[in-house]
Structure 1
Amino acid sequence: MPFLLFLLILIFIFPWIFLPLFLFFILIIILLPYGFTIYSLFNLIEVPKIIYKIASKRIVRKNHALEHATINVIEERYGERPDLSGLAREDGFIVRGSIDPEELFDAAKEGLRRLKRGELSLAVHPRCGTSILVGNFVFSLIFLILLFVTHTFSIWNVFAAFLLSAFLGRMGGELIQRYFTTDPHVEDMEIIGIDYDIPVFNPFITLVSPVGYLIKTDRYRRAKIIDIN
C-alpha cells in the first residue's frame, strides 16, 4: 500500500516520467491484432514447409524415429524427462540434456532393437517439436478463420484458438509424426557411435560440459554381386 501511494504521488508530480511507458503500452495494444495476424500468416506458410523438409528425407525420418525411441526408452527407465530434447539429422540424431552418454548410447541401441522387433509406437513422442509446430499451425488457422468470420480482433478469438489448438495440436501432431516426420521401419539402420555435439560458437565451455550428444547412425552396406559370366 505505501508503495502504491508513493507511485501515485510520483505520477501526479512527475507525469512526464511515465508518459513514454504509457505511450508504449498504448502502442502495444494498437499493434497487437496486427502482430497476431502476421504471426498466424507466417505459421501457415512456414509450418508446412518445415514438415515437408523432414518428410521428404527418409533417412531423417528414420533417425527421427530412433531419436524418439531413445528418449522413450530413457523415460521408461527413469521417468519423464522434460529436460531432454532431440534433433534428427541425416547422419544421426542429437539428444540434449543432462544424461550420461553410456546410458544414452545403451538406450539408443535398445530403441533400435525394439523398433526392429515391431514396437512401432516408440517412434512417436508427445513432446516432439512436430506437435508444437502442428499446434501453432492449428492456432493460426483457427485465429484467421475467426478473424475473417467476425471481422474483428477479440481476446475471445485468441482464447478459443488457443484452446482448440491445445487439443487438436497434440492429436494432429502425433498423426503427422506417425505418417510424415518419422519412419519406424529401421531394419536397414545401425548405430555406429556417439560423439559430443559441440556448438561452434563456444567450444571451450561445451568441451567441459557438452550440451548434447550425437548418436551416429548409418545404413547397412549391402555387398553388390556382380555376374562376370
Structure 2
Amino acid sequence: NLSLIGRADAQGFFIYGAVKTEELKTAAREAIARLQNGEANLAVHPRCGTNLVVAGILAGVAALIALGRKPSVRKIPDVLLATTLAAFVSQPIGLQLQARVTTSADARGAQMTGIRESRWGNIPVRHVDIAWHADEKANRLAKKINQEKLK
C-alpha cells in the first residue's frame, strides 16, 4: 500500500514518497498509454487542488449566507450545517470543473524522457520528465484548415 502525493507541472509531474524508480517508470508509461487510448478519467482526482478550492469557496459563501447581516453565536449551528452541505455538494462540482476546465487529459505526443530524483527533507521526490512531440497528423490537419480559411 503506497502513500504518495503527486503534482503536475508543464514538464511532467512530481511524485513525493517512497516508490522504486523502476515501478514509477512502468506506471508512468502505462498511464501515458492509457491516457492516449482515451482513459480521460485518469487525469481527474478527488483530492486535486481544484476540488479543494471549490470546497473552500462554497463553504465560505455558505457561512456568509448562514451568518446573515447580523452574525451571532446562535447562528453557529446554521453555519455548521451550511458549510457541511457546501462541502458535500462541492465534490461533484469540483470534479466537473477539474474535468472540463483545469485539467487536460490530452496526452497526444506525450513521451516520458526520464526521471530525476531528489529529496525534500526526509521525503524522496521524483520528477517524471515528459516531452511533448507534435502530433504530425494534427499538424497536417491544422495546416489544411488554415489554408482553407485563406481561400
TM-score clears 0.5 = yes
**Deviation (angstroms), 1:210:** 4.4
CA distance in structure 1 between the partners assigned to 2:61 and 2:18 by the alignment: 36
Q: Given that residues 116 and 127 in structure 2 are in contact (C-alpha distance below 8 angstroms), is that contact kept between their aligned partners in structure 1?
A: yes
**Deviation (angstroms), 1:98:** 2.5
**1:67-94 deviations in whole A, cap 9, x for unaligned?**
xxxxxxxxxxx6xx5x321111111111
> Is residue 178 from structure 1 mapped to residue 91 from structure 2 by the alignment?
no
Amino acid at match of 1:194: I
**Deviation (angstroms), 1:170:** 1.1
Q: Which residue of 1 aligns with 2:79?
A: 158
Which structure 2 residues correspond to residues 138-157 of structure 1 after superposition, within 5 A? 138-148=58-68, 151-153=70-72, 154-157=75-78
Amino-acid identity (%): 30
> Is residue 217 from structure 1 mapped to residue 137 from structure 2 by the alignment?
no
Q: Given that residues 196 and 210 in structure 1 are in contact (C-alpha distance below 8 angstroms), is that contact kept between their aligned partners in structure 2?
A: no
For structure 2, which runs of at least 5 residues remain unmatched after alignment?
A: 140-151
Q: Higher helix fraction: Structure 1 or Structure 2?
A: 1
Corresponding residue to 1:130 among 5, 26, 50: 50
For structure 1, which runs of at least 5 residues remain unmatched after alignment?
A: 1-77, 200-205, 225-229
The one of the two structures with greater contact order (alpha-carbon pairs below 8 A, sep at least 6) is 2
> Is residue 86 from structure 1 mapped to residue 36 from structure 2 by the alignment?
no
CA distance in structure 2 between the partners assigned to 1:132 and 1:94 by the alignment: 19
- Give every structure 1 segment of 4 or more consecutive aligned residues whose post-TM-superposition deviation is greater than 6 Å: none
CA distance in structure 1 between the partners assigned to 2:104 and 2:58 by the alignment: 24
Q: Compared with structure 1, are the counterparts of its residues 222 and 171 closer, same or farther at alpha carbon in structure 2 (3 Å cutoff)?
A: closer
Amino acid at match of 1:137: I
Could you tell me the TM-score, scaled by structure 2's length?
0.78
CA distance in structure 2 between the partners assigned to 1:190 and 1:173 by the alignment: 28
Aligned length: 136
CA distance in structure 1 between the partners assigned to 2:17 and 2:119 by the alignment: 13
**1:20-78 deviations in whole A, cap 9, x for unaligned?**
xxxxxxxxxxxxxxxxxxxxxxxxxxxxxxxxxxxxxxxxxxxxxxxxxxxxxxxxxx6
Compute the RMSD of aligned alpha carbons: 2.4
**1:142-195 deviations in whole A, cap 9, x for unaligned?**
1112223x6224221331133112211211111111011211111122111111
Q: Higher strand fraction: Structure 1 or Structure 2?
A: 2
